[in-house]
Amino acid sequence: MGSGKSTTAQCIATSLQSAGRPAQAVTETTKPHPLRATDGLPHWYQPWLDITPTGLAERSLVKWQTFVGAVETAATAHVLDGQLFHGDLTNLFLMDAGPAVIVKYIHAVEKIARPLTPLLVYFYQDDVSQALRAIAAERGEEWVKYQVNWKLQAPYSRRLGLEGLDGLIALYKDYGALTDELYASLGLAKLAIENSQRAWAAYCQRILRELLGDRPDADVTPRST
């Protein structure tokens, strides 16, 4: 949260468009969203009330298959905001799906997405506590209450008895440890950026260099990130 995903996705898409390369940012606010599996559930922000972790994983994989099938032959680069490690994966974690279900799910997504030759960009911060306290100070007490009342009511959080901002920080430390392992296990082209300096423009340019390299020919246009 607050790590610059949407800002960077928009920057990448706009920069590619300015260079004459068709691109589209798919952010959390995109409606209808092509990948978010919780859309359409009665409790989209608390899917544990409506569906099992395995059911959510299967629902998500169908979304991924449909999306990849629709864009695989398109020239447009789709810049996805957090849809691999955020979104549905966060929900599986909150639902206490467990490592076996989550690892199986993420590698199934990897297999489905591989035809798009994607670049996985992984934003992380070394000091999770400092990062979350900073975004909490920036967004205010009501935002903290919203996050706590949402995510600390999830099965994973309740099992561990997590409470308040300290509980939210503990939750995201666990989540960061999980995504660190998942990132290391994936065989996709990937780029990890420690972004605690919040230098969004610099990060955007670094990603663009990784995407496009030094070759100007149109054949290197990526189809997703």
Q: Model-level pTM?
A: 0.91
Residue numbers in the chain where pLDDT is lower than 50 = 215-223
Q: What is the pLDDT of residue 225?
A: 59
Architecture in CATH for domain 5-220: 3-Layer(aba) Sandwich (3.40)
- Dist. CA 210–CA 193, nearest whole Å: 12
* Domain spans in the chain, listed from the N-terminal domain onward: 5-220
Task: Assess contact for 187 and 117: CB atoms under 8 A.
Answer: no
42-73: pLDDT as tens digits: 999 999 999 999 999 999 999 999 999 999 99
Task: Assess contact for 164 and 148: CB atoms under 8 A.
Answer: yes
